[in-house]
């Protein structure tokens, strides 16, 4: 089980696509696709850019890296992709060079992207192993940052700790959302501000490492948790459990969304699903595909999911790997308080709200 084994496997998948589309080469420029094909190389010098600092040209026989002289030094010394069958096409940073293959060329952002998304979402055994480690570390990072909250912390303070906790584990928080007190009820995507914590904090992360991304949300309350918040957590955890229980091979994303809608209605919150997306497939994007009404995307074992149902003022979110026997939650550490809810008679555990004395 080596990086070369994984790359060879993915090269074979690309050969099949080249044959299907009757083209000679695929040019991979997006960081998510470069990370996928190379089994985890990071081409994102600027983390906010879709395109990498170098690109890959994949033909039936060759794996070429098109890179400036800036990146070539590090690639050779640290990533060492030449050990796995890659060749370098190096050019001066001020004179970019673009691949011109003998036959038709397709870029990953063209018609191939949908096909690549399907390949990225079906995780190999090697990716699944890395995902389990990433899921644990993601949960440890968000729990470390949430456990550390204290009265008077700004949301910026909390977000900084989360960034640091992800970096300490070799990752990056590509999504870092923090809300405290009333802002949790006001916004579903709360960017951190200088608002100071009084009682309740919600911390949301999507941590990326080796291209793969895991998502999790944690909440903490300073003092004794009010019964009203306990009830809200119980209800939204029940919706989250229904989403996990409905995620089975052979069903569709639309089927799961139907189950989520029914679960909201069962806890007297029928309209809440309309106020925020409910999540879906996750892998090399924070969501590879969101579940939409009527979505016919078929669910397969070997895919990962992050559902994120929410009520006003509360949210539940974990990342799990789907196996033939069910869901394997990746973002549980065993060090966080949990609650147990049921979906169709199946007990499912979810993260509780941490009480900080």
Q: Do 46 and 88 reside in the same domain of the chain? A: yes
Residue indicated by tokens 């395109």: 51
The predicted model gives 139-162 an average pLDDT of 98
pLDDT in tens, 205-225: 999 999 999 999 999 999 999
Q: Which residue has the higher pLDDT, 336 or 108?
A: 336
The runs of H, that is alpha helices, within 169-285 are 182-186, 227-246, 253-266
For the chain, the distance separating the N- and C-terminal CA atoms, rounded to the nearest angstrom, is 47
151 with 68: CB under 8 angstroms? Answer: no
326 with 220: CB under 8 angstroms? Answer: no
Asked if residue 344 has pLDDT above 90, the reply is no
Percent of the chain whose pLDDT exceeds 70: 100
Q: Pick from 101, 121, 141: which residue ends a domain?
A: 121
Give CA–CA dist 177/348, Å, rounded. Answer: 26
Q: Exposure of 19 by Cβ count < 10 A (0-12 exposed, 13-18 middle, 19+ buried)?
A: exposed
Q: Do 318 and 169 reside in the same domain of the chain? A: yes
Asked if residue 1 has pLDDT above 80, the reply is no
256 with 246: CB under 8 angstroms? Answer: yes
Q: Do 263 and 151 reside in the same domain of the chain? A: yes
CATH number at residue 7: 3.40.350.10
Query: For residue 315, what is the enclosing H or E element?
Result: strand 314-315
Number of structural domains the chain divides into: 2
Q: Do 105 and 133 reside in the same domain of the chain? A: no
Q: Do 112 and 163 reside in the same domain of the chain? A: no
What residues make up the domain containing 54?
Answer: 3-121
Q: Do 99 and 161 reside in the same domain of the chain? A: no
Q: Pick from 67, 91, 121: which residue ends a domain?
A: 121
Q: Do 141 and 255 reside in the same domain of the chain? A: yes
Q: Pick from 121, 146, 165: which residue ends a domain?
A: 121
274: three-class secondary structure by DSSP:
helix
CATH number at residue 254: 3.90.230.10
Residue 292 phi, psi (nearest 5): -120, 155
pLDDT at 108: 85
Q: Do 61 and 143 reside in the same domain of the chain? A: no
pLDDT band, residue 142 (cuts 50/70/90)? very high
CB atoms under 10 Å from CB of 271, counted, come to 9
pLDDT in tens, 176-208: 999 999 999 999 999 999 999 999 999 999 999
pLDDT at 96: 87
125: three-class secondary structure by DSSP:
helix
Q: Do 31 and 74 reside in the same domain of the chain? A: yes
The runs of H, that is alpha helices, within the chain are 3-21, 31-37, 69-74, 112-121, 125-147, 155-168, 182-186, 227-246, 253-266
Q: Do 80 and 198 reside in the same domain of the chain? A: no
**Token pair belonging to 58:** 């994949």
Bridge partners of residue 341, in order along the sequence: 348
Average pLDDT, the chain: 96
Q: State the pTM of this model.
A: 0.96
Q: Do 111 and 132 reside in the same domain of the chain? A: no
pLDDT at 105: 86
Q: Do 169 and 29 reside in the same domain of the chain? A: no
pLDDT in tens, 252-309: 999 999 999 999 999 999 999 999 999 999 999 999 999 999 999 999 999 999 999 9
């Amino acid at each position: 089980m080596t990086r070369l084994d994984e790359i060879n496997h993915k090269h074979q998948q690309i050969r099949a696509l080249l044959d299907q589309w009757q083209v000679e080469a695929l040019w991979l420029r997006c960081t998510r696709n470069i990370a996928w094909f190379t089994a985890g190389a990071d081409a994102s010098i600027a983390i906010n850019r879709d395109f990498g600092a170098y690109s890959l040209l994949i033909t039936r026989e060759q794996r070429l890296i098109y890179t400036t002289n800036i990146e070539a030094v590090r690639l050779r010394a640290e990533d060492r992709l030449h050990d796995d069958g890659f060749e370098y096409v190096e050019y001066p940073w001020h004179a970019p060079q673009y691949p011109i293959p003998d036959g038709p060329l397709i870029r990953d952002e063209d018609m191939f992207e949908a096909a690549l998304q399907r390949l990225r979402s079906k995780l190999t055994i090697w990716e699944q192993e890395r995902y389990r480690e990433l899921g644990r570390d993601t949960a440890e990072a968000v729990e470390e940052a949430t456990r550390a909250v204290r009265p008077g912390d700004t949301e910026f303070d909390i977000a900084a700790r989360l960034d640091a906790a992800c970096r300490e584990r070799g990752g990056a928080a590509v999504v870092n959302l923090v809300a405290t007190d009333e802002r949790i009820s006001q916004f579903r995507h709360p960017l951190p501000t200088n608002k100071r914590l009084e009682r309740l904090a919600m911390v949301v992360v999507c941590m990326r490492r080796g291209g793969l991304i895991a998502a999790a949300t944690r909440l903490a309350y300073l003092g004794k948790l009010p019964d009203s918040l306990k009830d809200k957590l119980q209800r939204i955890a029940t919706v989250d459990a229904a989403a996990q229980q409905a995620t089975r091979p052979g069903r569709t994303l639309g089927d799961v969304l139907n189950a989520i809608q029914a679960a909201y209605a069962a806890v007297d919150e029928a309209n809440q699903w309309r106020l925020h997306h409910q999540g879906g497939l996750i892998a090399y994007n924070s969501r590879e595909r969101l579940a939409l009404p009527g979505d016919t995307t078929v669910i397969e074992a070997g895919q990962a999911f992050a559902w994120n149902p929410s009520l006003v003022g509360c949210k539940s979110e974990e990342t799990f790997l789907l196996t033939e026997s069910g869901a394997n939650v990746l973002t549980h550490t065993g060090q966080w308080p949990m609650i147990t809810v049921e979906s169709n008679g199946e007990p499912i555990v979810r993260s509780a709200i941490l009480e900080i004395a």
